[in-house]
């Protein structure tokens, strides 16, 4: 199911790239308080492999190492070292470090003298180019009696070794020096420090690293492990008696490690006999022996050894200035035998390239995105329906269930990008499912975007957020439909619009107010009448200056029924859909990024209509002389490609049939490189052709091929006087999906990039078998589901199944599904038109069309500069679970430690207490908020008082999404399927109303209640107002002030307006002066400043707001209001806002310090899908009351070890074709989708 690939980076050390590295996960907490420790360093001692803990103290580190000790360090704590960590989840408790006394000097030695000795013994005698960035953190003690210098540190030492190009973070735990011995203990981690250096400077550094390596302890251990001492110029002599030819020899010279190294359980151990002498080349002698208590010392291929060895002589002189990370590899190894015996891949030795690969590999792991896919039961709904959904959250690399995030957000956004409904889902093993009820009060009919994301996904931009179009229409009745089309001549527009109701009644002789809008600008306004046929004939002119090619200047009509007696008629927005050829946008994108003179090039192009969809075009590419050099024609969805060889000095344009204007191609570069990637449908390899102009032969160049963020192919490119390099790469080194090839120069700058889609056809095969070909009404259906992999082996997996009525639900096979989403669209920017098309009946033609998609939309990726830049913590951290956390602060914003924080969760009545840590932080875990959950937090200072204390609580921050391009609304040229769905729903409701109550119990038709604000002092009575913002609205507004929530809700709300320079401020809503009434108290009559209340009261304090601006309701607040309407200008008329607070005395309300009311998003628990069961007794009862559009929804279909599962349900009350859509995953990265049909007929 999963493809693997391996790249050998260096001769003896290989880097696994497309094979899973081992993951080490864990959480770091304070051993005393149990609070998480953020920004703790987790690293492999002596390497460059490391990470830091997040705000929750959690971390994950990927490594192929198993023997190098794992160290966990944090400022102010004692470090912990762990040896057995492979593939484990660790719970690390760090104990606070006891503060050492400041510097003690016994014997009169100055700090300068002590520092000089320390630097010589710790850094090394030649320490000019190796400096400690924070020497003031070193504390010294000199003991005169023993002539011993000791040192300790309160912070990790930050060391810059310019000579070797490393930054070293050294956690020094012990240092002592005397004339007898020097003891240095500590842990350290490396980081490259060569960014921004010139190639010549880097080359010099690499030579210095080689010099430090040869003859070092690392070099010796590696040679010993590989039994390669002689080739590496090492000679060792042992003093233990060894019998040779039956004669004893006191000293034995060796160039083989056979008798000194033993293998146990696959690991190698060094057993140095007493007085082992080491000699490297012509250098001074060195010595090694076992430390007391050790029988042998573990050694590894990368040069690591445990603490069982004691070194002396020349080799022991190595200090910090000569340290190298275990990943180091010399430019020119002394031995060519330093490689694993089973190594068969090409070896990469170039140090710059190695660092690039390692850096990208590290970046991919620390920035690994997640992918989410949502299957819904359908895509078009009726008011009162429920959206039923299943979420699949997978890691991007191997498409396995994601384990980084445990919370998923799903929201329904309107066309302004604002969430009308947002729910929070608990994710378990990458899965979640939920229901979203479509209440007309919160979600009116219209076009919406269903979005899903984790907090972690927000780091990678909106293109990583899952998005699906959802259409919601009302039940048949008085809702208005519009049918029409548009014609244009010049700037004149003609249309005939027919108005009908949803149940088919013609809207004849209606007075209609019609506006022509350019975005938000009103171009014209008129009053027209529909005829006896309900048709409104409209003719208007667009201003000559109107640029209709710009998305922000969309031209629309707004129609509103103003017939006398019609109340609360909706304003219908009708987009003017024009397919004007001259407004077709065409973009040309050369393969690899550039047109280079003299190099044959493939150029992709995409033509887009005004509505954003692909346009069919044909034409030709012409040169400066207007001579055609190549024909162009789109093949699918407005995309195509053309091949030609550009010439120096020429410019090229495209002439399109039926369009007067021409389109310029990118400029031709006189010199450069070109990258071309080709593949044939039935071939098992990809051909890469790199072409350079003569002035660019000198390299080296680096070619990287990656998939899903993981490097699967890497190659050094050297032209060697040939201007064309061809590489044939097996496809099986890449997984199915998008492969991205990038060519870099020696300074790591990307020059060319190309993406291709590789398909191994290795997705899951899902088969659905019905027990008979056709079914009757209210018939029992049993489906047998069988799932296998591409080799026919049964697989266990988790799937979701939707069964819908084809007559009521539009189930387009070309739209996005889990296959097209996970393998294609989730890694492309912009909208992909009908992505499902590419996965139906694959062929050579479809591969060519898919390649055009890669050329036009797949060539833009993330910025490589982000990979090579210094690592910056991401803004949005993954959420494992729901937590309540924050800080206790005083009036000046300073943290308060050991503050008591009490928490009360209303729904579960859970009460807990905790103390803030040294940084004032607190955290509550193990919570599961449900609907209407309210969390009350109370903070007390150290003295148990409420004085001078506040809470800064971390709440969910709403994302800001782009405004969705204007979609065709559901009521305009309504799809027959949507219309049928609404009409069927209305028919069912009518039949149910006529039914007298026998048989099944179906959903009751509910009558909407008037919104009431409890305990309101409204003079008209509760709920008697022109508009009401109720308690549910306030919950959504969270901690917004009264002014802020009004500004968010109403565009006509003016924050404040000063008149005549007076200090007092007046507020306006709907161009009227706001008169604020709080719990029955008229603020203005008491002389209280309105501004204070606008900015003091928050949504959390308010139950509801009732707005009165009509004569009917305003007269209760001002008996003169009817007279004022006639005599007073509109802008001076009052509008009354009756605000009801929870306290009941909001006009005199004073908040309690340190109290924070938190209404979090709540988890959504899905309900069991209602599926009626019919028996002989009720099979004909109440026929016509079961007209389900979704026949069945099964979110959790689990196949057994044989790959099988069974699902059953009953058909409904009318003959229909049913569409079955099943999608799902396996635990090892398998993804599958299938779509089938069954038939239900009327009883004979």
Predicted confidence at residue 942, as pLDDT, reads 82
Question: Residue 1047: helix, strand or coil by DSSP?
Answer: helix
| Residue 950 to residue 940: CA distance in whole angstroms | 9
Predicted confidence at residue 868, as pLDDT, reads 75
* 8 A C-beta contact, residue 134 and residue 155: yes
Question: How do residues 1193-1228 score in pLDDT, each as one tens digit?
Answer: 999 999 999 999 999 999 998 899 999 999 999 998
Q: Where are the domains of the chain?
A: 6-94, 370-473, 489-573, 765-824+1166-1240, 884-953, 1027-1158
The CATH homologous superfamily for domain 370-473 is Macroglobulin (MG2) domain (2.60.40.1930)
Average pLDDT over residues 694-703: 87
* pLDDT above 90: percentage of residues in the chain: 43
Predicted confidence at residue 869, as pLDDT, reads 74
Average pLDDT over residues 29-52: 91
Which two structure tokens, joined as six digits, stand for 874?
């991401």
Average pLDDT over residues 104-113: 72
DSSP for 1099-1160, written as a single string = GGGEEEEEEE-SHHHHTTT-TTHHHHHHHS-GGG-EEEEEEEESSS-GGG--PPTTEEEE--
| Residue 216 to residue 314: CA distance in whole angstroms | 9
1027-1158 shares the fold of 370-473: no
Average pLDDT over residues 537-548: 69
pLDDT above 70: residue 360: yes
Give the CA count within 13 Å in the CB-facing half-sphere of 535: 8
Predicted confidence at residue 574, as pLDDT, reads 87
Q: Which residue has the higher pLDDT, 544 or 958?
A: 958
> How would residue 993 be classed by pLDDT, with cut points 50, 70 and 90?
low
Predicted confidence at residue 1244, as pLDDT, reads 46
Average pLDDT over residues 1017-1021: 92
Question: Residue 785: helix, strand or coil by DSSP?
Answer: strand
Question: How do residues 408-419 score in pLDDT, each as one tens digit?
Answer: 999 999 887 888
CB atoms within 10 A of CB 1011: 18
Q: State which fold the 6-94 domain adopts.
A: Immunoglobulin-like (2.60.40)
Which two structure tokens, joined as six digits, stand for 932?
């209407």
| Residue 1219 to residue 802: CA distance in whole angstroms | 8
Question: Residue 192: helix, strand or coil by DSSP?
Answer: strand
Class of domain 1027-1158: mainly beta
> How would residue 339 be classed by pLDDT, with cut points 50, 70 and 90?
very low
| Residue 975 to residue 812: CA distance in whole angstroms | 13
Cut 0.85: pTM above it: no
pLDDT above 90: residue 793: yes
> How would residue 1083 be classed by pLDDT, with cut points 50, 70 and 90?
confident
125-154: buried (b, 16+ CB within 10 Å) or exposed (e) per residue? eebeebebeeeeebebbbeeeeebbbbbbe
Closest CA to 940 of 968, 913, 904: 913
Q: For 738, phi and psi rounded to 5 degrees?
A: -85, 125
Helix H, strand E, coil C: the string for 824-866 is CHHHCCCCCCCHHHHHCCCCHHHHHHHHHHHHHHCCCCCCHHH
Question: How do residues 441-499 score in pLDDT, each as one tens digit?
Answer: 788 888 899 999 999 999 988 888 999 999 888 876 667 889 998 888 877 889 999 99
pLDDT above 60: residue 3: no
pLDDT above 80: residue 23: no
Residue 454 makes CB contacts below 8 A (sequence gap 6+) with 370, 372, 393, 402, 404, 405, 407, 408, 409, 427, 878, 879
Predicted confidence at residue 792, as pLDDT, reads 92
Predicted confidence at residue 866, as pLDDT, reads 77
Query: Which of 41-55, 299-313, 438-452, 660-674 is the most confident on average?
Result: 660-674
* 8 A C-beta contact, residue 453 and residue 372: yes
Residue 673 makes CB contacts below 8 A (sequence gap 6+) with 592, 596, 690, 691, 692, 693, 696, 701, 743, 751, 752
Predicted confidence at residue 71, as pLDDT, reads 94
pLDDT above 70: residue 8: no
DSSP state at residue 592: B
Predicted confidence at residue 138, as pLDDT, reads 93
| Residue 253 to residue 239: CA distance in whole angstroms | 9
CATH of domain 765-824+1166-1240: 2.60.40.1930
Q: Which residue has the higher pLDDT, 1064 or 127?
A: 127
Predicted confidence at residue 212, as pLDDT, reads 92
Could you list the beta-strand ranges (E) of 530-636: 535-541, 555-561, 571-575, 585-590, 595-596, 601-608, 618-622, 628-633
Average pLDDT over residues 570-597: 88
Question: How do residues 484-504 score in pLDDT, each as one tens digit?
Answer: 988 888 778 899 999 998 778
> How would residue 9 be classed by pLDDT, with cut points 50, 70 and 90?
very low
Predicted confidence at residue 981, as pLDDT, reads 74
Predicted confidence at residue 611, as pLDDT, reads 80
Weakest-pLDDT range from 332-341, 722-731, 1071-1080:
332-341
* 8 A C-beta contact, residue 402 and residue 370: yes
Query: Which of 272-286, 359-373, 1097-1111 is the most confident on average?
Result: 1097-1111
In terms of Cβ atoms closer than 10 Å to its own Cβ (0-12, 13-18, 19+), residue 45 is: buried
Average pLDDT over residues 793-819: 90
Predicted confidence at residue 363, as pLDDT, reads 83
Predicted confidence at residue 908, as pLDDT, reads 61
Which two structure tokens, joined as six digits, stand for 1059?
């008149």
CA geometry: angle 635, 639, 644, nearest 5 deg = 90
| Residue 610 to residue 111: CA distance in whole angstroms | 76
How distant, in Å, are the alpha carbons of 579, 613, 618, 619, 654 from that of 633? 18, 16, 4, 6, 11
Q: Residues 770, 775, 779, 784: what is their CA dihedral angle, to the nearest 10 degrees?
A: 0
Mean pLDDT of the chain: 84
CB atoms within 10 A of CB 1152: 8
Predicted confidence at residue 987, as pLDDT, reads 73
Residue 1027 makes CB contacts below 8 A (sequence gap 6+) with 1106, 1107
Closest CA to 660 of 770, 584, 747, 561: 584
Average pLDDT over residues 810-833: 88
> Is 489-573 a CATH 2.60.40 domain?
yes
Q: For 1063, phi and psi rounded to 5 degrees?
A: -70, -35
pLDDT above 90: residue 282: no
How distant, in Å, are the alpha carbons of 6, 87, 287, 400 from that of 20? 11, 11, 40, 11
Average pLDDT over residues 161-184: 91
Average pLDDT over residues 393-409: 93
Average pLDDT over residues 180-187: 88
* 8 A C-beta contact, residue 420 and residue 472: no
* 8 A C-beta contact, residue 358 and residue 20: no
Sign of CA dihedral 1177, 1181, 1185, 1187: positive
* 8 A C-beta contact, residue 936 and residue 906: yes
Predicted confidence at residue 550, as pLDDT, reads 44
Weakest-pLDDT range from 411-420, 545-554, 739-748, 1151-1160:
545-554
Question: How do residues 600-658 score in pLDDT, each as one tens digit?
Answer: 999 999 999 888 889 999 999 999 999 999 999 999 999 999 999 999 999 999 999 99
Q: Residues 531, 535, 539, 543: what is their CA dihedral angle, to the nearest 10 degrees?
A: 130
Average pLDDT over residues 1180-1195: 88
Predicted confidence at residue 568, as pLDDT, reads 67
DSSP for 337-390, written as a single string = T-S-TT--SPB---HHHHHHHHHHHHHHHHT--EEEEEEES-SEEETT-EEEEE
| Residue 228 to residue 1231: CA distance in whole angstroms | 47
* pLDDT above 70: percentage of residues in the chain: 89
Predicted confidence at residue 227, as pLDDT, reads 84
| Residue 941 to residue 947: CA distance in whole angstroms | 7
Look-up of token digits 């299957």: 375
Predicted confidence at residue 346, as pLDDT, reads 52
| Residue 223 to residue 315: CA distance in whole angstroms | 15
> Could you tell me how far CA 409 lies from the centroid of its own chain?
12
pLDDT above 50: residue 102: no
Average pLDDT over residues 717-738: 88
Average pLDDT over residues 951-969: 83
Look-up of token digits 């928490």: 903
Predicted confidence at residue 1029, as pLDDT, reads 93
H or E element that contains 1054: strand 1054-1058
């Amino acid at each position: 199911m999963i493809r693997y690939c391996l790249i050998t980076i260096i001769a003896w050390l290989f880097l696994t790239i497309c094979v899973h590295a081992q993951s080490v996960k864990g959480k770091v907490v304070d051993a005393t308080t149990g609070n998480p420790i953020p920004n703790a360093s987790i690293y492999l001692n002596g390497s460059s492999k490391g990470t830091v803990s997040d705000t929750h103290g959690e971390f994950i580190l990927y490594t192929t190492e198993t023997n190098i000790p794992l160290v966990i360090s944090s400022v102010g704590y004692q470090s912990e070292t762990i040896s057995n960590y492979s593939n484990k989840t660790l719970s690390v408790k760090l104990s606070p470090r006891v503060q050492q006394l400041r510097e003690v000097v016994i014997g009169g030695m100055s700090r300068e003298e002590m520092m000089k000795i320390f630097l010589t013994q710790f850094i090394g005698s030649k320490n000019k180019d190796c400096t400690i960035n924070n020497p003031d953190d070193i504390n010294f003690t000199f003991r005169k009696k023993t002539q011993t210098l000791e040192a300790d540190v309160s912070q990790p030492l930050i060391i810059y070794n310019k000579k070797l190009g490393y930054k070293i973070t050294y956690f020094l735990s012990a240092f002592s020096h005397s004339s007898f011995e020097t003891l240095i203990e500590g842990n350290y981690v490396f980081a490259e420090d060569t960014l921004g250096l010139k190639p010549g400077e880097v080359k010099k550094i690499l030579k210095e690293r080689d010099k430090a390596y040869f003859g070092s302890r690392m070099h010796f251990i590696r040679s010993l492990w590989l039994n390669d001492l002689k080739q590496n110029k090492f000679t060792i002599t042992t003093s233990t008696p060894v019998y040779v030819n039956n004669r004893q020899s006191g000293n034995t010279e060796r160039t083989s490690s056979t008798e000194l190294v033993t293998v146990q359980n696959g690991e190698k151990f060094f057993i140095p006999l007493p007085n082992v002498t080491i000699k490297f080349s012509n250098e001074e002698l060195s010595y090694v022996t076992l430390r007391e208590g050790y029988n042998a010392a573990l050694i590894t291929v990368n040069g690591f050894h445990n603490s069982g060895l004691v070194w002396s002589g020349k080799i022991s002189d190595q200090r910090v200035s000569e340290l190298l990370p275990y990943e180091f590899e010399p430019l020119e190894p002394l031995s060519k035998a330093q490689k694993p015996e089973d190594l068969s891949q090409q070896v990469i030795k170039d140090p710059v390239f190695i660092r690039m690969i390692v850096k990208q590999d590290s970046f991919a792991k620390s920035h690994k995105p997640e992918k989410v896919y949502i299957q819904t039961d359908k895509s078009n709904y009726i008011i009162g329906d429920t959206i039923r959904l299943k979420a699949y959250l997978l890691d991007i690399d191997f498409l396995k269930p994601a384990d980084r995030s445990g919370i998923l957000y799903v929201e329904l956004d309107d066309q302004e990008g604002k969430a009308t409904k947002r729910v929070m889902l608990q994710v378990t093993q990458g899965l979640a499912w939920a229901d979203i009820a479509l209440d007309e009060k919160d979600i009116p009919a219209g076009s919406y975007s269903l979005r899903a994301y984790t907090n972690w996904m927000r780091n990678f931009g909106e293109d990583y957020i899952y998005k699906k179009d959802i259409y919601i229409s009302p039940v048949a009745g008085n809702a208005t439909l519009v049918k029409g089309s548009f014609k244009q001549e010049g700037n004149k527009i003609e249309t005939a619009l027919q108005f009908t109701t949803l149940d088919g009644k013609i809207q004849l002789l209606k007075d209609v107010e019609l506006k022509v809008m350019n975005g938000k600008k009103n171009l014209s306004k008129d009053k027209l009448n529909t005829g006896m046929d309900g048709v409104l004939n409209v003719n208007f002119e667009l201003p000559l200056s109107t640029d209709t090619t710009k998305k922000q200047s969309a031209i629309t009509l707004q129609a509103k029924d103003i017939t006398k007696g019609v109340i609360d008629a909706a304003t219908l927005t009708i987009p003017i859909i024009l397919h004007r050829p001259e407004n077709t946008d065409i973009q040309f994108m050369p393969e690899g990024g550039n047109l280079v003179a003299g190099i044959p090039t493939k150029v992709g192009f995409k033509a887009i209509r005004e509505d954003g969809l692909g346009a069919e075009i044909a034409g030709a590419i012409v040169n400066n002389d207007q001579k055609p050099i190549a024909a162009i024609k789109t093949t699918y969805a407005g995309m195509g490609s053309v091949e030609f060889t550009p010439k120096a000095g020429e410019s090229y344009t495209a002439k399109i049939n039926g369009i007067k204007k021409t389109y310029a191609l990118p400029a031709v570069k006189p010199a450069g490189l070109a990258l071309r990637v080709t593949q044939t449908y039935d071939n098992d390899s990809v051909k890469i052709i790199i072409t350079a102009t003569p002035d660019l032969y000198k390299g080296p160049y680096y070619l990287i091929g990656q998939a899903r963020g993981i490097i699967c192919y890497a190659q050094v490119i050297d032209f060697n006087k040939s201007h064309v390099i061809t590489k044939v790469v097996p496809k099986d080194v890449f997984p199915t999906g998008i492969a991205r090839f990038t060519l870099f120069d020696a300074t790591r700058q990307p020059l060319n990039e190309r993406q291709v889609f590789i398909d191994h056809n290795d997705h899951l095969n899902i088969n659905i078998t019905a027990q008979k070909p056709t079914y009757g009404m209210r018939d029992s259906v049993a489906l047998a589901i069988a799932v296998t992999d591409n080799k026919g082996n049964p697989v266990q997996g988790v799937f979701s199944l939707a069964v819908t009525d084809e007559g009521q639900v539009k189930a387009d096979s070309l739209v996005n599904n889990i296959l097209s989403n996970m393998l294609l669209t989730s890694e492309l920017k912009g909208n992909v038109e009908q992505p499902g098309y590419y996965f139906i009946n694959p062929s050579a033609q479809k591969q060519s069309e898919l390649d055009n998609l890669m050329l036009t939309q797949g060539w833009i990726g993330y910025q490589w500069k982000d990979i090579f830049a210094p690592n910056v913590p991401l803004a949005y951290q993954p959420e494992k679970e729901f937590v309540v956390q924050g800080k206790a602060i005083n009036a000046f914003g300073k943290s308060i430690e050991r503050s008591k924080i009490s928490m009360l969760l209303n729904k579960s009545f859970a009460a807990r207490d905790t103390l803030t840590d040294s940084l004032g932080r607190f955290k509550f875990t193990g919570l599961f908020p449900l609907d209407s959950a309210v969390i009350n937090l109370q903070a007390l200072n150290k003295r148990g008082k409420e004085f001078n204390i506040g809470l800064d609580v971390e709440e969910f921050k709403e994302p800001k999404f782009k405004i969705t391009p204007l979609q065709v609304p559901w009521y305009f040229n309504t799809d027959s399927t949507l219309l049928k769905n609404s009409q069927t729903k209305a028919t069912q409701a009518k039949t149910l109303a006529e039914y007298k109550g026998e048989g099944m119990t179906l959903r009751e038709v509910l009558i909407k209640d008037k919104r009431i604000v409890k305990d309101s002092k409204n003079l008209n009575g509760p709920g008697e107002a022109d508009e009401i913002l109720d308690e549910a609205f306030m919950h959504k507004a969270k901690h917004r002030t009264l002014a802020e929530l009004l500004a968010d809700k109403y565009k006509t709300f003016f924050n404040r307006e000063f008149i005549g320079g007076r200090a007092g401020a007046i507020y306006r809503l709907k161009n009227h002066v706001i008169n604020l009434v709080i719990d029955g108290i008229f603020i203005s009559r008491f002389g209280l400043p309105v501004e204070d209340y606008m900015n003091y009261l928050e949504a959390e304090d308010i139950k509801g707001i009732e707005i009165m601006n009509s004569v009917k309701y305003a007269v209760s607040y001002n008996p003169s209001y009817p007279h004022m309407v006639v005599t007073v200008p509109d802008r001076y008329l009052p509008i009354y806002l009756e605000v009801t607070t929870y306290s009941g005395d909001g006009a005199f309300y004073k908040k309690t310090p340190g109290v924070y009311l938190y209404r979090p998003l709540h988890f959504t628990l899905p309900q069991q899908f209602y599926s009626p069961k019919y028996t002989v007794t009720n099979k004909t009862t109440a026929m016509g009351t079961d007209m389900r559009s979704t026949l069945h929804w099964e979110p959790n279909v689990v196949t057994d070890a044989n790959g099988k599962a069974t699902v059953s349900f009953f058909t409904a009350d009318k003959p229909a074709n049913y569409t079955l859509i099943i999608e799902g995953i396996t635990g090892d990265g398998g993804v599958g989708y299938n779509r089938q049909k069954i038939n239900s007929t009327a009883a004979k």
